[in-house]
Structure 1
Amino acid sequence: MDEDVLSTPGHLISLAARGFARLSESRLKPLGFGVGQLPVLVALQNGKASTQRDLARFARVEQPPMAQMLARMERDGLIQRTPDPDDGRSSRIVMAKAAQHSMPEAIAALFQGNKEALTGFTDAEAEQLVDLLKRLIENLDQIASAESSAQL
């Protein structure tokens, strides 16, 4: 049996992810945000992380790209760094006032984009899609973790 590689879940999810990224980027750019910055801003907004290491873990990216992103975000006035009172080598990261002010509009734009992308889906289908994607991500994380452990 000859399968169509362009119809595999991996390829279709990649196409959907790129489509969502383009849509989100076009709607966030006028607000001064990039789509890659949203996990950082959400983590800071919700108080889930405040160090570079915590933000990298939360956003599921490696430390070097996170450091580069934070440097750009600081340059663009989206975040501010302050010395960590508990660790002089580290700094605490907080969302700048301008970013706090624009976050509700950015989040609304993302929700609207998601709603538009799911046109024709029932609420149950949309909920099922989210559940399936969460399970898929969990499986992929487990595979990656097992493979990185095996390489040690």
Structure 2
Amino acid sequence: MDSSACLEFVRELRALNHRLDARLNEGLRPLGISCVQADALMALQDLQPCGLKDLSTHLIAESGHPSRLIARMRRSELVEVAPSPEDGRAMLISLTAEGERLAKESCKVRQDIINSLVLDDGALADATGFMQSIIQQLS
């Protein structure tokens, strides 16, 4: 494979991620939350209650960052943290009523962005499979 083609692919992937995040942040601005917070809220909507490790894995987050994110969201009363009944040392994270509301609103913002795109399902499946192949090779 031509290394310049590979670098161009990586550059385009970063540009796509940047543009999607910018669009999402624009839609989330009226809600008063960031793209990262919205991602965590939407993940917790599916995973709760869950531990920090499970949330980190789902968010594909670097170590240290999720704990700071959850601390900020806890101060904003978007999440609650309680000891795990199975392991008193572990903590379980859940959404508050306000966190649930913002998770639902975030889903709507994300869905509006998806609905605004004209995507070919076959091409999207091929691209997703291609990226999964690269991820697997890098693991």
1:74 is aligned to 2:80: no
Identity among equivalent pairs (%): 20
Rg comparison, structure with higher value? 1
CA deviation string 1:79-127 (max 9, x = no partner): 11011111111111001111212322221111112222x2xx3x5x1x2
2:115 paired residue number: 115
Aligned positions, number? 138
Q: Which residue identity is paired with 2:81?
A: R
Q: Is there any run of 5+ residues in structure 1 with no aligned partner, and where?
A: 146-152
CA contact (8 A) 1:51 1:92 kept: yes
Report the TM-score, using the length of structure 2 for normalisation: 0.83
Assess, with a 3 A threshold, how the Cα gap between structure 1 residues 104 and 92 changes in structure 2: closer, same or farther: same
Deviation at residue 23 of structure 1 after TM alignment: 0.7
CA contact (8 A) 2:78 2:98 kept: yes
Report the TM-score, using the length of structure 1 for normalisation: 0.77
1:94 paired residue number: 94
Deviation at residue 62 of structure 1 after TM alignment: 2.4
2:14 paired residue number: 14
1:134 paired residue number: 128
Q: What CA RMSD, in Å, does the superposition of the two structures yield over aligned residues?
A: 2.4
2:50 paired residue number: 50
Q: Which residue identity is paired with 1:144?
A: L
Range with bigger deviation, 23-32 or 3-12: 3-12
Deviation at residue 7 of structure 1 after TM alignment: 8.3
Range with bigger deviation, 35-44 or 23-32: 35-44
SS at match of 2:92: strand
Assess, with a 3 A threshold, how the Cα gap between structure 1 residues 144 and 71 changes in structure 2: closer, same or farther: farther
Q: How many Å separate the matches in 2 of 1:31 and 1:21?
A: 15
Q: Is there any run of 5+ residues in structure 2 with no aligned partner, and where?
A: none
